[in-house]
Amino acid sequence: MMEPLNAVAEDTDLEAWLARIGRPLRDLDRLPGDVSPRRYARLSFEDGTTAILATYPPEVRAICPRFLRTTELLAGAGVRVPRVLGSACDSGWMLLEDLGPETLGDYRDRPWSELAPWFESALEAAAAIARLPVAALDGLNPTLGRELMEKELAQTWNLFLEPRGLTGGPELSRALRATLNEVCANLAADPPVPCHRDFMARNLMPLPGGGVAVLDHQDLRLGPPAYDLASLLNDTVFPPPEAEEALLAAVAPGAEDRVCYHRAAAQRTIKAVGTYASFSLRGADRHLPLIPPTLARGLAHLARTPEGAPLADELARAWSGVLGG
């Protein structure tokens, strides 16, 4: 039985809009959401086809036209993204191509021999994103620069590290804060390139033949050159060490390239700890088990940077209670 339409968008005539764009609705199946106010549903139409409905409530409605713009930019660059089948941003609706029920993140238990072609395609997509003309991103989103990266790490500091006594005594606390700020400063010192901003397995749809489609790209912006690579290899699906090394050798062959990668991965993973902690404060406790392995990964990357190496052993001791689960 079809779910009431007002469960997806109140006070709006979704069914009438779909009929006007030639897609009479037969059924609606709401999809599990995350902490975002956006909501998604799989729609079935009278002609037997399906599509994904994204609903943008008023507080995030500005994302809708931005998604349309980033869709156009990425598709024009040869990056596979879901096709927009219809949009009514004033009402908060967007109808997207249905690419299936599973993201690459849902394939985490598959052997690497199956996953490798999709990761290789993901690296090609990331490279295509980085080649976008810088001017094309003007006015789209703020640059992921030093100030924003430091702000992200401040959330981790304020919501997780400090409340749990993980910043250590005054000396370690000062050194850690200075180290994290230095990581951000060094990342921001490289000329920024276009990046997806959240280029992880859960935002990639595996396609037949090994290709991927890129989801959730409305935050496209300028950022550190290694940021999307760091996101891809450090979230949800983790290549075996030898496979990770092969991927890095292909796209970050030089010593300085590798340092930039570890800086970006350290910032990204330590930032994610604060994100998960903030989700918990909003009632999404399912993210809490992700904190220990994510923090451990952040420390491992930090230890492989010139800034973080001197603190690595002391941080491992200070964080041992969390890193041990």
Q: For each successive 10 residues of the chain (325 residues), what is the average pLDDT?
A: 44 83 95 84 96 97 97 98 97 97 96 96 98 96 98 98 96 98 98 97 95 98 98 95 95 96 98 95 87 97 98 97 84
Say what the pLDDT of residue 325 is.
Answer: 58
pLDDT in tens, 125-145: 999 999 999 999 999 999 999
Question: Residue 284's pLDDT is what?
Answer: 80
233-279 pLDDT, tens digit each: 999 999 999 999 999 999 999 999 999 999 999 999 999 999 999 99
- Annotate 240-258 with b (16+ C-beta within 10 A) or e (fewer): eeebeeebbeeebeeeeeb
Which pLDDT score is estimated for 53?
A: 98
Q: What is the pLDDT of residue 295?
A: 97
Closest CA to 119 of 254, 248, 286, 3: 248
The pTM score is 0.93
